Structure formats: C-alpha cells, structure tokens
Amino acid sequence: MPIIAFGLNHRHAGIDLRGRASILPEDLKNSLPSLVNSAEYISEALVLSTCNRTELHCIVQQEDEQTVEEHLRRWLAEHRNITLSELVGKTYFFSSSEATRHIMRVAAGLDSQVLGEPQIFGQYKAAYQAAVKTGTIGPELEPIVTAVVRTCKRIRNETEIGRHCTSLPQAAVIKTQQEFPNLSSIRVLLIGAGQIIRAVSKYLHTAGVRAITVANRTLANADRIAQDVDGKVIPLTEYGEHLYEFDVLITSTNSDRPIVSFEVVKNACEQRRNKPMLIADLAVPRDVDPFVRNLEQVRVFTVDELSSDIQTNLSSRHESVHQAEQIIEDGLDKLNDSFRAREVSTTVSKYRSNMEDIRDQEIDFAVTRLRAGEDPQQVIASLAQSLTQKLVHFPTVALRNASIAEDVELLNRLCSAYEIES
C-alpha cells in the first residue's frame, strides 16, 4: 500500500445497488470523517460517488489487504444501509501502484460507461475539494491527486479520448433528436440544476431547441441555467401541473427516491391525448418511477440504456485508449519517482543529522579540553582523528560486511558511492 481504491461500479453492480451505495455531495461532510475515523490505520480519504460508481480512496497503514478490504466493505454497507451479502462479488479493491493506476484511468474516463466522458474529471476534482474542505486530505494523498489531475490534462490535450464527446448529456440529446427530428418545434422540461442538467441544456440549445424550462427546488440555481439558453423556470413542486405541456422530460437530481411518479406522468399523458413523450432519466438513484415505462405513449431511457446505446459511436476514442494508457504509465512512473526522491531526501536528512550530532559532540569535547588549558594543537589533532574515525566507521563496517558476504554488487556500489577504486 499505502494508497488503496475500493468501490463498486457499472461493471460489477446494477443501477439499483449503485443508487443505494451512492453518497450525495451534501453528505460528504459527515461521510468522510466517518470513514477516516472508522479504523486507526486510515489516515486520509477521498470519496468519489457518481451515477456509475462509488469509490473510497484511502491512505492506510495496514499490511493485511484482506483486513482493509473487509473493513471498507463493512463500512460502506453500514453507512448506506446495505447488507454485506449484497456487496459480495460486487466490489473491487486495488492497492499501491495498481490503485493509483486505477484512479488515473477512472478520472480520465477510461473506466467510464461512456468511454472518455468528461464529467468524471470534474467530479473527481469536486470530490477532492470536498475532502480538502473536511480535512481528510493530507501529505500522502495530496501528491497522488496532483499527479492524477496532471495526467488527465495530458490525456485530454494529447489524445482524441475527450474529443467529439459522447457523454450522457449528449446521449440524451441525441436520443431526443432521434425521437423528434424537428427540435425547434418541441418543448423540453429539465429537472435539476447540477452539472449534467447544465450540460444538457447547452447541448439542447446548440442543437436547436428553443423552448426549454428548468424545474428545481432552488429557483436561483435553475435560473442560472435557464438564462444561458433563454429558458424559463418553474418551482419543482409545480412540474406535475405543467408536464403535459412538454414533449421531452430530462431529469438528473440528487434525490434518494423517485420524484417523477407514475400518476403524474399518467395524468400528463391523458392531457396530451396520447401524443408521444420522451423521458431521459440521468439520475442514480432513479428520478423516475420504473412503472412509468409501462405507459404506452412514453419512452423512458435510463443511464444504463443511454450508455449502451452510444457505444457504437466511440470508435475514435477506442483508438486513443492505448495512447492514453501510455500517458498514465508515464504519470505513474513520475509519481513513483517523486515518492522515491522524497524517501531518499528523508534518509539523507537523517544521515546528515546523525553526522552533525557526532560533529557537535566532538566539538563540545574539544572546547572543554581547550578551556581546561590543554595544548590547542593536540586538541585539534585529537578532534580531527576522533571525528575521522567516527565518520568512517559506518562505511567501513558496510564495506567489510559486503566483502565477507562476497556481495560484489553491493561492494561495487559502496566503492562508487565513496569514490574508492574497487
């Protein structure tokens, strides 16, 4: 170790379990301290929780990986009210360089359901800021985060992995365009005011949608999104009264339970006189009651379905994966080099401190002798001899032991270090 990455994602867990395991941004102020304080060997932590994954990135001082993995699985189960049996076979665990490599791949979008999607990088940086705010980032995790961010920026700048983006917001807009080719004639309701809804609103507006309404609990947040797309705002509590007016509903909130009920959509459909409606649920946990898809005139698309639908559009990104992986390996090498340099610096500092202690002891002894009236020349000669003997003692012992053990490689290294002809 000491860095570990533990969690579950779309590859291992279904949408329901991912939703129940997710940790909302507003809960991190309690979740992060709880995680760090859950075991004495956990000193630092960052929690990355998105619609596709919940991951715990921790600095641990514990050699037994199984102990750490079992503890984190138990913590997540208790913290999110999930039974341990539900998590068996659904989680993964990485340590040391493998953990750092995994985190780099995640933040770069290489492990995303939609390859290369850019939102995850922003979500990772937001997770870091939350950990900084709660005080769970320290000197071990900080340089790892810095290396991850630096590596991801290189990947974005030097490869095609983040270009011609096909993120979930874009996937929702593509699906909207497929259902309603004349985008300028439709009305769209957006529920939420986070990054995903903001992105959806911009993509819709750019694609030609001119009637966009944003519903949210906090009207000020909704208004900031609506202003950018010449849209309107309604309180979230009133969306049901107006739903019949819209051809498309796209929702992404942090609610822990569905906010779009079957009855509300059914009533809207009756008022629409069977005109088709498209609903894109980009939230995890789901914002839309699963039974809504039973309504004949409504087409519902979830995160999993949208992600699966757009994989065919990712050929150029797949071609860039190898290049991105090489950049990750380079970033990992540089990070490990920096850690080794820090370890060497610490060792050198301790060595110098030990030598300085010997020097100070010899000087104090010499000063005492001079004050006692001894011959200065003899005192200086004695000081030089004693200091030399003590400073060369450790190298001499090392050279002798290497010679006795016939360790030629070590002997050559010692001779090189002390500039001795072997």
Tokens of 363: 């000087």
Report yes or no: 12 and 91 within 8 Å, Cβ to Cβ.
yes
The residues, ordered by sequence, that sit 6+ positions from 177 with a Cβ below 8 Å of its Cβ are 183, 207
Report yes or no: 272 and 297 within 8 Å, Cβ to Cβ.
yes
The question of whether 51 is a catalytic residue gets the answer yes
Report yes or no: 204 and 228 within 8 Å, Cβ to Cβ.
no
Main-chain phi, psi angles of 115, to 5 degrees = -55, 125
Please identify every residue annotated as catalytic. 51
